[in-house]
A = this chain, B = another copy of it.
């Protein structure tokens, strides 16, 4: 005699997860991972801690989900602009600018770069970035190497170094430095890779 089946389990789960992710993201950006408590998160989300620990292994797991979402968004942004460029070097520059802009939006620098590094560790963060945001960078560098457009350097270290240099740029912009002053330096660094 129990009656109303208002919502399916799938929808219910999606809704709750979204609420938690939204609330978590806001708080993690504002106060960081460590300073944000789970009671705080669930209160902001309008659910209970039971729901949180049902859908996520622990606080870190919720955080990881948020980082993955942010990385995915950045990756999508890069792909959106990186397609049209005259040279491979230009493509690298365009993609780099897109990365910095996308990462300094919505507080993503805090989640994906600052907290992500400390909470998830370099290894796991790198793996996430590899899945979402560094696909086109690797392709671009690989193409550049094949074409002989850049100095003969090892691909993987190159991917890492360009990637972390861009992380640095995003961090600086996030810290308040002017994108208009950071961008030309990023481009200069990339020029350093090119064979003149």
* Copy total for this chain: 2
Please measure, in the bound complex, the distance between the C-alpha atom of A169 and the C-alpha atom of B160, giving whole angstroms. 8
Minimum CB–CB distance from A57 to chain B (whole Å) comes to 16
Complex Cα gap A196–B165 (Å): 22
Residues from 102 to 117 in A contacting B, C-beta threshold 8 Å = 114-115, 117
Counting CB contacts under 8 A, is A178 at the interface? Answer: yes
- Footprint of B on A, CB under 8 Å? 32-34, 114-115, 117-119, 122-123, 126, 151, 153-154, 156-158, 160-161, 163-165, 167-169, 171-172, 174-175, 177-178, 181-182, 184-186, 188-193, 196
Assess the A178–B192 pair: CB atoms within 8 A: no
> Is the Cβ of A172 less than 8 Å from the Cβ of B164?
yes
Measured CB to CB, the closest approach of chain B to A70, in angstroms, equals 16
CB distance from A175 to the nearest CB of B (A): 5
CA separation between A177 and B157, bound complex, in Å? 7
User: In the complex, are the beta carbons of B188 and A153 less than 8 A apart?
Assistant: yes
Chain B residues near A161 (CB, 8 Å)? 168-169, 172, 182, 185-186, 189
Q: Quick one: which of A114, A126, A185, A186 has the most chain B CB within 10 A?
A: A185
**Given A122-B174, A153-B185, 18 other A-B residues pairs in contact with their CB atoms under 8 A:** A32-B118, A34-B34, A34-B118, A114-B117, A151-B188, A154-B181, A156-B177, A157-B172, A157-B177, A157-B178, A161-B172, A161-B182, A165-B165, A167-B168, A188-B192, A188-B193, A191-B192, A192-B193
Q: How far is the CA of A4 from the CA of B122 in the complex (A)?
A: 52
A114 with B119: CB separation less than 8 A = no
